[in-house]
Amino acid sequence: MAVARWRITSVTEGSETWLIHYEPVDGGGEAFAASFPKEAFEIRMAEHGLDSLDEAIEVLLYTPLLHAMHADGHPGVLPVLEGDAASARARVLDQVAACKEQYGEVTTAPANGLARAADPLQVLRERVRVDPVRVATIRLEIDGLLARESTGGGSGG
């Protein structure tokens, strides 16, 4: 199967959500939009031990493709929680790399090839704020819950 290429055409900010618009570059597939809650960037950073907003953006951009890749019969490509942040980071970055090589690639290159065209992701870089204390707090909670479950503490509510 040829690797499909998707272009991010625009990013729309809502009060609680970001909407990211994808279009096929190579003519295959249908244009679509994916929505992410505004806190998704901090949550993904905590879940997967990501070091920067750019890593979180990349993981979120590939999330729809990872789900499609999984649905098309590729096992083990959905991001899952790992027992420690370093393992989680390595796993999700490996999954994104595998997606790029085997399934689909996301680009922000302008359709007309003009180098000076605006980067649609710039709005995310400018407006998304990451609170490192919140990220660390979420990761500590994840670690505590995973530890409790691994020792038989259960998952009750």
Q: What is the pTM of this model?
A: 0.86
User: pLDDT at residue 70 above 90?
Assistant: no
* Cα 108 to Cα 42: distance, rounded to the nearest angstrom: 22
Whether 117 is in a domain gets the answer no
Whether 157 is in a domain gets the answer no
Whether 155 is in a domain gets the answer no
Whether 138 is in a domain gets the answer yes
Q: What is the pLDDT of residues 23-49, one digit of tens each?
A: 998 867 789 999 999 999 999 999 999
Range of the domain at 85: 4-110+124-150
Whether 116 is in a domain gets the answer no
* Cα 90 to Cα 103: distance, rounded to the nearest angstrom: 19
Torsion of CA 145, 151, 153, 154, to 10 degrees: 80
- Residue 154: predicted pLDDT: 63
If you count DSSP H runs as helices and E runs as strands, how many of each does the chain have, helices first?
A: 5, 4
* Cα 152 to Cα 149: distance, rounded to the nearest angstrom: 5
